[in-house]
Amino acid sequence: MERSQFFSAQAGRFIEMPRHATARFGIGDVVRHRMFDFRGVIFDIDPVFSNSEEWYEAIPQDMRPRRDQPFYHLLAENEDSSYVAYVSQQNLLPDSDGGPVDHPNVPELFEEFRNGRYRMRRSLTH
């Protein structure tokens, strides 16, 4: 399989990735974690794991996701708080609630919520 590299500032290193990685979800999609009770809206996608080694090693080995899949940055919420989450594709499901995400940063990135998803602010798109 043909591979390429990109520099991840978050990881502080070059990341190898397949030339063609397929993301199941897109920016603005509302998703739910498969194992933990939180949901969120996707605001960025890494084609493969691009966080730090310390972050990856902190995940218990029996729950550690594969690196060679898309990872999603979420504005996330649970019953207690709002936060930013970094989640592997294998651990996300489409959100069945269908409602908006109550995160204080949503208005900074997204314009509207319609048909179960958000539309990114035009000033932030290419």
Which domains occur in the chain, in start order?
A: 3-124 (2.30.30.390)
Residue 114: pLDDT band with limits 50, 70, 90: very high
User: From CA 72, how far away is CA 92, in angstroms rounded?
Assistant: 9
Largest interatomic CA distance in the chain:
44
pLDDT at site 122: 84
User: From CA 124, how far away is CA 91, in angstroms rounded?
Assistant: 27
pLDDT in tens, 52-95: 999 999 999 999 999 989 999 999 999 999 999 999 999 999 99
pTM recorded for the entire structure: 0.82
